[in-house]
Copies of this chain bind each other. A is one copy, B any other.
Amino acid sequence: MPKRVDHEERRRLIAAAVRRIAADRGLEGVSLGEVAAEAGISKGLVQHYFASKDEMLRYATGTLREQVDRRVGTDLPEGLSGLRMLLLALLPRDAASRTDALVGNAFFVRALKDPVIAERFRTGHEQLRHGVAAMISTAQQAGELNADCDPVTEADLLIAVVTGLIDAILLGHRTIEEAERLIDHQLARLAAQ
C-alpha cells in the first residue's frame, strides 16, 4: 500500500517556511528555491502544491490569520479585563508573536495589489474592530467604562495605538513594558468616573 500523504499538512509546512522567510528578510526573500530549502523539500514538491508565488503567498496569509486567532484565544473574559488581554496579546512579546507581526508587515505592500490578500486583511480588521467595540460596550454596561464613550470610535483609536506600538516594538523604539503602560494609560481614560 502506498504511503498516505497528508496534503493539507504539506501545504502548511510550505506556508510555515514562507512565513519564516518573510519575517526574516521580507517577501524579497521568498523564492521557489528558498522556500524549498527552508521547508526541507524539493522545488518540484513546492510547485506541485502551489502553481505560482502569488498562490503560495495567498495561502500563507490564510494561515497567519489562524495563528493570530489561536494565540489571542477565543474564550477571553468579558468586559475590561478581556479587552485589555486582547490588546496586549496583539503585541509582539515572544518569537511566535514577533514572527506574526513581521509577516503581517512583509505582506503589507502585497495587500495593496492582490485583491485576495487585501480581502483577508480587510476581514481581519473588521473582525477585530467589531470585537473590540463589542468588548467596550460590555464593559460600559458593567459600569467599568464611561457610558459616554462611543465604542466604535474608541475601538478605532485603540487598534491604531496597538498597530503603531507593534511597529515601535519591532523597530526597538519602545519596549513591551512601555507599550503596555501606554495601552493601560489609554484604557484608564475610558474608565467610568
Q: List, in ascending order, chain B residues with CB within 8 A of A182's CB.
A: 153, 156-157, 160
Q: How far is the CB of A102 from chain B (nearest CB, A)?
A: 7
Q: How far is the CB of A166 from chain B (nearest CB, A)?
A: 8
Asked, given contacts A25-B109, A110-B26, whether A165 binds B160 with beta carbons under 8 Å apart, the answer is: yes
Q: List, in ascending order, chain B residues with CB within 8 A of A162's CB.
A: 160, 164
Q: List, in ascending order, chain B residues with CB within 8 A of A164's CB.
A: 159-164
Asked, given contacts A160-B161, A164-B160, whether A173 binds B108 with beta carbons under 8 Å apart, the answer is: no
Q: List, in ascending order, chain B residues with CB within 8 A of A113's CB.
A: 25
Q: List, in ascending order, chain B residues with CB within 8 A of A156's CB.
A: 174, 178, 182
User: How many chain A residues touch B (Cβ–Cβ < 8 Å)?
Assistant: 40
Q: List, in ascending order, chain B residues with CB within 8 A of A112's CB.
A: 102, 170-171
Bound together, the chains give a CA A180 to CA B189 distance in angstroms of 20
Q: List, in ascending order, chain B residues with CB within 8 A of A170's CB.
A: 108, 112
Which A residues are closer than 8 A to B by beta carbons? 25-28, 30, 102, 105-106, 108-113, 118, 121-122, 125, 153, 156-157, 159-165, 167-168, 170-174, 178, 182, 185-186, 189
The 10 closest A-B pairs by CB, nearest first: A160-B164, A163-B164, A26-B109, A164-B164, A28-B28, A160-B161, A125-B173, A160-B165, A27-B28, A105-B108
